[in-house]
């Protein structure tokens, strides 16, 4: 068999194993090793496997993962999510769909220190849903709002998904973080508008709430932790923008600042600190293994010649760049509904990234677009990981959650369209670095 045929079989094997619930990392590393052995030799495959795993686990750049993970997980365990929602509720809870708007605002701010959709869901779901239930909000509307708001964690830095994309594509993680700020804010505003429109059309979904006094608002602002979070965000992410830190150094500074904030506010105990460290270690180990396995698979895929062949074929077709981009986005939309976002990024980077570069698109801009499109998979059936996580914490039926997500799906698609036709939304801030 030709190397191209072997590469196609290998790609299909990885997809098949993932759909059979084999962990992504094991699927990619096994297929990559076997494929490399077939095309070269077992001894060369062993050398490649050892080199890639060792390099990935000892990379200085990879240390950004546990640092930002610790910052976000510590914030989650220390109860900052509940205080953020209480603060947002005092300011906007009285308007149409007030608690929904407050949820988006709280999730956006929490996403600025968390970077993980599951962690944001696990933090905000048990806090927000009981409050919305108590105040008469519809189950479908409230759970869909929480699920969509948690999606903001992958766009507003620091994002774990951006880190994985940056490491896989060898793109500056700092630039990806900065590039995600405006698209994340835009998506948050569109989520708020979507919630208001839905309630305007059916007021029974979300009863109006009494207006808080300014004294209550000021008290929630000073006691909610939002000022400290903004300071941590400005120091870590702002430090990258100004040029004070690399992304890795920003992770260390952010983790230290978050620990200091929690210590000053007495939100952390020895037990919480140990749980945060253990959870951060587990998340980092998962990411390290994913990157190592992706590197092994990429080495195999590269020697099949498929990435070069696909790039050459696209150029020979003389198709407009926008048409090629549309096909890639469509594939991400469909596959994102069936596969985890991290798996899709690691699996498709060897194929799509050379094509994107060949037709002249900015790799940082494409990273923002790809992560945004793939984040829809957390909302939409049949996989809809966000819905399943919320179902576990709220006991609301899965179909009820899925029924309410479509206005937010439309809002995300509008964000995608804006980023495609107005790329400066994602490229303006990185261009200033």
Task: Report the 3 state secondary structure along 125-146.
Answer: HHHHHHHHHHCCCCHHHHHHHH
**Measured in Å, how far apart are the chain's first and last C-alpha atoms?**
48
Percent of the chain with pLDDT over 70: 98
pLDDT higher than threshold 80 for residue 29: yes
Identify the residue whose tokens are 């429109």. 197
Tens-digit pLDDT profile for residues 383-401: 777 788 888 778 888 888 8
pLDDT given for residue 104 in this prediction: 93
Q: What is the mean pLDDT of residues 182-192?
A: 95
Residue 398 CA from chain centroid, whole number? 22
Q: Are 398 and 387 in contact (CB under 8 A)?
A: yes
Phi-psi map region of 23: left, alpha, beta (phi>0 left; psi -120 to 50 alpha) = beta
Axis crossing angle, helix 3-19 with helix 270-304, rounded to the nearest 10:
150
| Residue 191: closest CA among 125, 122, 145, 123 | 145
Q: What's the confidence (pLDDT) of residue 225?
A: 64
418 vs 168, higher pLDDT: 418
pTM: 0.85
How many whole angstroms separate alpha carbon 35 and alpha carbon 30? 8
Higher pLDDT, 114 or 421: 421
Q: Using one digit for the tens of pLDDT, what is the confidence trace for 365-382?
A: 999 999 999 888 888 877
Contact status, residue 60 vs residue 40, Cβ threshold 8 Å? no
Has residue 227 got a pLDDT over 80? no
What are the tens digits of pLDDT across the range 119-158?
788 788 888 888 888 889 999 999 999 999 988 988 888 8
Distance (Å, whole) CA 138 – CA 286: 36
Domain count, the chain: 1
SS3 state of residue 97: coil
What mean pLDDT, rounded, does the chain reach? 85
Q: Phi then psi for 315, rounded to 5 degrees?
A: -65, -40
Task: Give the position of tokens 């490399």.
Answer: 36
Q: How far apart are CA 309 and CA 311, in angstroms?
A: 5
HEC string of the chain?
A: CCHHHHHHHHHHHHHHHHHCCCCHHHHHHHHHHHHHHHHCCHHHHHHHHHHHHHHHHCCCHHHHHHHHHHHHHHHHHCCHHHHHHHHHHHHHCCCCCHHHHHHHHHHHHHHHHHCCHHHHHHHHHHHHHHHHHHCCCCHHHHHHHHHHHHHHHHCCCCCHHHHHHHHHHCCCHHHHHHHCHHHHHHHHHHHHHHHHHHHHHCHHHCCCCCCCCHHHHHHHHHHCCHHHHHHHHHHHHHHHHHCCCCHHHHHHHHHHHHHHHHHHCCCCCHHHHHHHHHHHHHHHHHHHHHHHHHHHHHHHHHHHCHHHHHHHHHHHHCCCHHHHHHHHHHHHHHHHCCCCHHHHHHHHHHHHHHHHHHCCCCHHHHHHHHHHHHHHHHCCCCCCHHHHHHHHHHCCCHHHHHHHCHHHHHHHHHHHHHHHHCCHHHHHHHHCC
**Residue 6 pLDDT > 70:** yes
358: number of Cβ within 10 Å:
16
DSSP string, 211-256: PPPHHHHHHHHHHSSHHHHHHHHHHHHHHHHHTS--HHHHHHHHHH
User: pLDDT value at position 274?
Assistant: 86
Determine contact, residues 135/209, Cβ cutoff 8 Å. yes
Task: Write out pLDDT tens, residues 72-95.
Answer: 788 777 777 777 888 888 888 888
pLDDT of residue 46: 93
**Cα gap 39→155, rounded to integer Å:** 39
What was the pLDDT predicted at 426? 93
pLDDT, one tens digit per residue, over 397-424 is 888 888 989 999 999 999 999 999 999 9
Please answer whether residues 386 and 117 qualify as being in contact, where contact means their C-beta atoms are separated by less than 8 angstroms. Answer: yes
Q: Give the mean pLDDT of 268-294.
A: 83
Determine the structural domain holding residue 381 and report its residue range.
3-431
**CA-based nearest residue to 246, from 142, 175, 160, 152:** 175
């Amino acid at each position: 068999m030709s190397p191209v045929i072997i590469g196609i079989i290998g790609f299909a094997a990885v997809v098949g194993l993932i759909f059979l619930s084999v962990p992504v990392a094991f699927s990619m590393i096994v297929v990559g090793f076997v494929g490399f052995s077939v095309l070269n030799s077992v001894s060369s495959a062993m050398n490649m496997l050892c080199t890639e795993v060792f390099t990935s686990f000892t990379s200085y750049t990879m240390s950004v993962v546990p640092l930002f993970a610790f910052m976000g997980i510590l914030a989650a365990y220390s109860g900052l999510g509940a205080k953020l929602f209480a603060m947002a509720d005092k300011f906007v809870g009285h308007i149409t769909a007030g608690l929904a708007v407050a949820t988006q605002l709280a999730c956006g701010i929490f996403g600025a220190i968390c970077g993980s959709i599951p962690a944001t869901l696990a933090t905000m779901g048990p806090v927000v849903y009981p409050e919305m239930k108590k105040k008469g909000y519809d189950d479908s509307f409230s759970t869909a709002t929480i699920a969509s708001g948690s999606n903001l964690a992958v766009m507003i830095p620091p994002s774990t998904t951006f880190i994985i994309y940056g490491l896989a594509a060898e793109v500056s993680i700092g630039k990806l973080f900065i590039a995600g700020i405006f698209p994340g804010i835009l998506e948050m505003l569109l989520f708020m508008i979507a919630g208001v429109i839905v309630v305007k059309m059916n007021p029974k979904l979300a009863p109006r709430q009494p207006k808080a006094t300014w004294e209550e608002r000021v008290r929630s602002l000073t006691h909610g932790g939002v000022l400290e979070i903004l300071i941590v965000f400005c120091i870590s992410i702002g430090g990258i923008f100004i040029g004070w830190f690399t992304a890795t150094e920003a992770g260390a500074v952010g983790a230290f600042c978050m620990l200091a904030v929690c210590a000053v506010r007495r939100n952390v105990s020895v037990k919480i600190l140990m749980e945060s460290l253990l959870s951060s270690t587990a998340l980092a180990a998962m990411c390290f293994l994913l990157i190592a396995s992706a590197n092994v698979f990429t080495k195999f895929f590269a020697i099949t010649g498929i990435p070069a062949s696909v790039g050459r074929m696209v150029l020979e077709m003389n198709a407009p760049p926008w048409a090629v981009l549309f096909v890639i986005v469509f594939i991400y939309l469909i596959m994102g509904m069936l596969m985890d976002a991290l798996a899709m990024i690691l699996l498709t980077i060897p194929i799509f990234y050379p094509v994107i570069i060949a037709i002249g698109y900015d790799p940082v801009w494409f990273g923002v677009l790809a992560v945004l499109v793939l984040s829809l998979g957390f909302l939409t059936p049949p996989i809809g990981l966000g819905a399943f996580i919320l179902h576990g914490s709220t006991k609301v039926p899965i179909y009820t959650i899925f029924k309410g997500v479509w206005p937010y799906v439309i809002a995300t698609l509008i964000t995608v369209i804006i980023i495609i036709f107005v790329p400066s939304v994602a490229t303006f801030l990185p261009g200033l670095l």
